[in-house]
Structure formats: structure tokens, C-alpha cells
Structure 1
């Protein structure tokens, strides 16, 4: 059991370090947000799971606060990431210069006739 606890704690720490590397190395806000949300969510949940197992196995306590905290992060991290990326998109934060396609911009602005999905609907 101690090896499982150590694996979860070390794995969570490594995922959190990868999030920091993603913030420092990736070129634009969108890719930074993607890297940090994915790895931080997994890292924090792994650390909380390791702490839960430690308290349960070693101390004999069942800490439901750790499970509720992990559930809260699992629910709120993707939602906050989505809201941040949408607000950056609407504030015209430009993606990295090698980004090729931006379908969302076309759909939210005035779509031209050939790309309009409503043109295929029969009345």
C-alpha cells in the first residue's frame, strides 16, 4: 500500500511540474491553458488520492474532505478553462502564428453562404 501512496504522490508532483513547464514553454494562451488544466487537474487529484489513502491506511481515518476536494477540482477545472479560453477568444487574443484554422471565429461571425450550415436545411 505504501508503494501505491508513493506512486500517487510522486505522479501528482510530476504532473504539477509538467504544468509549470507548459506555462513556461508553450507559445500562446490557448496552448498554455490546455497544458496547465489537464496536467494540474490530474496532478492535484493524484495528490489528494494519495493523501486520502495515507490517512486511511496509516492513520485509520477516512477524510471525506479530500474526496470532495478532488471532485470539486474535477468539476470546476474544465469549466474554468473553457470560460477563460472563450473570454480570451472574445477579447481577440491571437493564437500562435502557426495555428492554421479557426472554425469558431467563422461560426460566430457572419458566415458566408457556402459554409453556412443552415443552407442545407429544407423548409
Structure 2
């Protein structure tokens, strides 16, 4: 699938997904999850991050996904430490989105 097609799909689905985090808010138990569900801006950042992460994960062959999955787990653990602090959560998402953008920028792309 071409990147343009993927991005168009994301653009079409984003408004629909924009109303729900990447996890089930009804099952949120942690303070960070509850804060994300209660804050539209954090909720939207969560959806963007999850979409970028899933897209990037799909670009790597199975044998190379482990490192990226480990980095995501580490990030989730650090996000959890923010608790319900929206400023901390915002910074955490900004940093993770920047990391994901850097990973994408480093991928060899056909001309």
C-alpha cells in the first residue's frame, strides 16, 4: 500500500476515531488513562500516536518489530508515571510523537 493511500485512509478515519482514545475508556483504571479519556486534546494526541505507531510497526518485518514494541512499552510505563497531570501527559505525547516522526524520517523511501 502506498503511503499516500495510508495517509488518506487515516485522514478519513481520524474524525471518527477522534472521539475515542486508542483504548477502551470504559475500562480505564489508571489515572493517566482516565485523564486521557477526560481531556479531548490528550484523547486526540493518543489517537494520533496510536495511528502513527501502528503504521510504523507495519512497515517493519516481523524480526525487527521487537525493539519498537519494547520502546512503546517503555513509553507507556513512563506515561503512566504522569498520573492525571495533563501537562506531563501532553509533554509525554509530544516527545513520543517526535520520536515516531524521527523513526519515519529515517526509513528509506522509494523515490
Common fold: TM-score over 0.5: no
Return the TM-score normalized by structure 1.
Answer: 0.33
Q: Which protein is bigger by CA-based radius of gyration?
A: 1
Greater relative contact order structure (CA < 8 Å, 6+ sep): 2
Return the TM-score normalized by structure 2.
Answer: 0.36
